[in-house]
Structure 1
Amino acid sequence: MAGGKIEQRVILSRQEAAKWLHSLANALENGGTTEVALVGPGVALNLPDEFEVELELEPYGDKIELEFELMWPNSGAEPAAEEKRSRVAAADGLR
């Protein structure tokens, strides 16, 4: 992944959020290269075999934030043409 930090925010129904998470889980299970996006252009990622995982649950007034992070070394390598590719995308915008 080239460039700096990318943040995307959308409002999804429970079913849409589950579908997006299922797609992400399938991409992680299959490995290779995946393109991840919530809205707008995706970001291509080379997925390793192991991740450092962080889970955070924090109340913010009348809201609750559940955040998870997957971290891995930035190899900087471009994916090979024959590598498995998948796409993980969510709905097209805020409601």
Structure 2
Amino acid sequence: MRPKNAKLPQSKIDANARLRLRFKQSVGIKLRNIRISRKKTLDIIALKLGMSESHLRRIEKGRCDTGISIIGRLCAEYGIKPNDLFDGTEFLNPYVKD
């Protein structure tokens, strides 16, 4: 067991950062594809949810951390369950080479 004040090796930190980025990108791509398949535009969805288009664009590109409340509101707007965004496992293995 690692002591509380022990630091992770840099390689572990990098792997965790890559994993988080892949996760955000995967969810963002799915949200974008769903929005497009529903024939909704960024400006309409952003307006309905009370956020800027640029913020929604960053979510769809996986460039920002998104809280569960925003994910829930997007899912409700698109008529899907949050589980539908997390059904893939393509982002789970941080050791897969790009």
Query: TM-score normalized by structure 2?
Result: 0.31
Tell me which protein shows more strand as a share of its residues.
1
Tell me which protein shows more helix as a share of its residues.
2
Query: TM-score normalized by structure 1?
Result: 0.31
Larger Rg: 2
